[in-house]
Structure 1
């Protein structure tokens, strides 16, 4: 058996054990002993945790935070090809610490305390291609700027990778920072090969969510460190069904890390990133469960969001500022998934219908979820207002 095949088998084993421990509970999600969706409601248990007294520092916080349990670098994009046909894509790098900092082994070629997983998706019309990879590293590898481990993220110059899937600072840019990146990821061979090679240029500032970057996720106060770059302009090439096309459009990158993201009662989330045609942007989410029992029924949802001006000024939206109402469902992968929503933010004058033009955006990954492009219209008139992405977990 080759070393590469043995390594891949070990990674699958690690991933399977992780999912068994953290993502496959049969407990009632409303029980306080449940771990929540995919184990994201576990106790901190020796890990560093996000809090309202935490602060963000750049460029350092573009890098990995191995003392926290979970983390991701999450890009979605609404693009068009040369003929004006819409196209959507996703690329995400996830990190999960396998053990608390005090229990980590000394670095050796076989020692790993960090599990990495990357997802990519490319969608156009009824086509929806998905790929997934796993990697591993020792946390000390994040201090190694030579980037010679299988997977990792370093801040300066920015580079996030798993094997040859990578998001990195543009070598040709005058300032090799987070504002000018390239993304390269391909999967498959021959006619089944798909992927993309893109350049990303930020045309606005980073946006901190919540309280200075701490995003509360439940009424009891727990949450994550969370910021976004919602101002990407993207150009490049995508390959789908053996055909390569030139594309351009808008992207949204989310950065988030925590050790206890959810309340144990929360079963999943519905997350929206919206680009409006007037230049405003909106992030909003509904976490199913974890609401405040003083003014809502037991197990009520927890909502939050950020209203962003064209210049990048951010206004945090509280639970009471947002109304999210499913309007219609679609049968997807044996589940009924809400693919049309009404989203109201009265303080911003918003009453929108958000709909997925294609329901078949199920991510057939180790922890499956729905994610795809959406179109935004005025709820009363039906006038087009914008576009974006919707992610739904725990269905």
Structure 2
């Protein structure tokens, strides 16, 4: 069992990541012991955690980065129902090559009803060079900064129109916001999350508008990747928000070898990097009638360092985004034990390959 609490050792950890990243890539996002920002109800507060990213500044698009992703998932109530919704913009490749994807989905977590809008676009279409988030596509309009954002996202049946207000602490993946994807120095990636985002507004479906209230998780990532379409590389990822207040980003990556880890954000801002496993229940595979791909609909999450054993089950089987991947983006619930105590939670699980 290997478990690292990020704090006193953060500078040493960051230095080791610089060495494994190949140098040049890490040099574009220098780690230091200078103060960095976390979110709060008043906007951005300060923390002494050394990181490789700036949570406020790095919300903006950067034309020099490859595979830029802005990803928000929510668990909200509206009209007496519990809903999950996703809005995701991904620009794969650079401005000259690749493509972009603009995806929106809504899941009724009570009934299992699901809908999506999954658009393929030219590379970096819909992005601007303005500060903060500024994304405009046919199904997503997303603007604002780390204090407050406005999101309007469309599906064939209606519109999500919400205000997003981050609070609490930033989750820095691997404790510094940098990690080699697949454990391979050829793929230096940067990722952080605003995991506690107060979400309010309206949800209009079938001409009926209901007030929305709940929580979102905003994830920001960029960095080179291998050709996922070849089938040689895949990953499963979860964003777990637990009833004990812990927020967890769990990665299960596979290229030449398995690379699994979890970054845990405690309510007091402490961050822990530790071993974790995501084990699919192959007896629960759902096969897409659109693409023919099969995805697990139940998973077991084990985090030995936290004495955690969680069962994750999707709220609807059909949550595939067929055009931008294809990939699975599933609203799900979690139950189990954590630190020997019962917990529940909400998550989205992303599965590629």
> Would the aligned equivalents of 1:122 and 1:195 in 2 still touch at CA under 8 Å?
no
Match of 2:73 in 1: 76
Among candidates 266, 276, 284, match of residue 329 of structure 1: 284
User: Please, which runs of 5 or more residues in structure 2 have no aligned partner?
Assistant: 1-23, 31-51
Among candidates 169, 190, 208, match of residue 225 of structure 1: 190
Q: Equivalents in 2 of 1:255, 1:244: separation in Å?
A: 30
Match of 1:367 in 2: 325
Match of 1:66 in 2: 63
Matched, 1:207 2:207: no
Matched, 1:387 2:351: no
Shift of 1:211: 5.1
Match of 1:39 in 2: none
Matched, 1:341 2:299: yes
> Would the aligned equivalents of 2:147 and 2:165 in 1 still touch at CA under 8 Å?
yes
1:129-159 Cα offsets, whole Å, 9 max, x none, are: 1113344478xxxxxxxxxxx6114453542
Shift of 1:98: 4.5
In structure 2, the CA distance between the partners of 1:98 and 1:330, relative to structure 1 (3 Å rule), is same
Shift of 1:339: 1.4
Among candidates 296, 303, 314, match of residue 356 of structure 1: 314
Q: Equivalents in 2 of 1:227, 1:354: separation in Å?
A: 23
Task: Describe the SS at the equivalent of 2:255.
Answer: strand
Among candidates 301, 307, 312, match of residue 264 of structure 2: 307
Match of 2:92 in 1: 96
> How many matched pairs?
301
Match of 2:119 in 1: 133
Shift of 1:200: 0.9
Shift of 1:187: 3.8
Q: Equivalents in 1 of 2:293, 2:123: separation in Å?
A: 35
TM-score (norm 1): 0.68
Task: Describe the SS at the equivalent of 1:197.
Answer: strand
1:21-65 Cα offsets, whole Å, 9 max, x none, are: xxxxxxxxxxxxxxxxxxxxxxxxxxx846797432353311112
> Would the aligned equivalents of 1:65 and 1:257 in 2 still touch at CA under 8 Å?
no
1:288-326 Cα offsets, whole Å, 9 max, x none, are: 3332xxxxxxxxx21122111123332222xxx112222
Match of 2:218 in 1: 253
In structure 2, the CA distance between the partners of 1:245 and 1:364, relative to structure 1 (3 Å rule), is farther
Shift of 1:198: 0.4
Matched, 1:239 2:204: yes
Larger Rg: 1
Q: Equivalents in 2 of 1:156, 1:53: separation in Å?
A: 17
Shift of 1:273: 0.6
Over the aligned positions, Cα root-mean-square deviation in angstroms equals 3.0
Q: Equivalents in 2 of 1:132, 1:369: separation in Å?
A: 11
Task: Describe the SS at the equivalent of 2:297.
Answer: strand
User: Please, which runs of 5 or more residues in structure 1 have no aligned partner?
Assistant: 1-47, 105-112, 139-149, 170-176, 292-300
Shift of 1:344: 1.0
> Would the aligned equivalents of 2:162 and 2:202 in 1 still touch at CA under 8 Å?
yes
> Would the aligned equivalents of 1:353 and 1:379 in 2 still touch at CA under 8 Å?
no
Task: Describe the SS at the equivalent of 2:58.
Answer: helix
Shift of 1:382: 11
